[in-house]
Amino acid sequence: MHELGATRLAVPVGLHTGLGCDAVGVPARFGFKILSRLPAKGCVYADSDWWWWLVPAGSDHDLTWPLPACYAPGAEIPDRRPRLIHHPDGTSPYTPPIPLYLLVCQLTGTAPSWPAPSVRSAL
């Protein structure tokens, strides 16, 4: 079996990455469903097996992305020669992570889950 190397998704020139870049990948069978349902889309990359969305760094903070999704810190992914298939209209390369997370949960049949904030009484 041939082991894949890694590659970092290249952000197109002119897009602002001040928040850093991570990526969320899903199997290709979910790709068109997610792309068509998201109200805002950043850079999307695809190869024959996976589709990847750029999200701000730390978009996994207090979130567990449901399987079979894959969270890739630094937007470093297996090198299957992904290509850019969606360029955003504006200057941000990011897909908003919460709508993406909720849609991935819906498509995988997973209930969204994140820690509840601690509540303090002011009495």
Residues 57-112: tens digit of each pLDDT: 999 998 899 999 999 999 999 999 999 999 998 999 999 999 999 999 999 999 99
Model confidence over 15-39: pLDDT tens digits? 999 999 999 999 999 999 999 999 9
Q: How many Cβ atoms sit within 10 Å of the Cβ of residue 91?
A: 8
Q: How many Cβ atoms sit within 10 Å of the Cβ of residue 89?
A: 8
- 40, amino acid identity: A
Output the pTM of the full model. Answer: 0.89
The pLDDT of residue 106 is: 96
Phi, psi (degrees; rounded to nearest 5) at 100: -65, -45
Residue 36's nearest CA partner among 90, 93, 107, 113 is: 107
| Helices and strands: H and E segment counts in the chain | 2, 7
pLDDT surpasses 80 at 1: no
Residue 49's nearest CA partner among 63, 75, 68, 65 is: 68
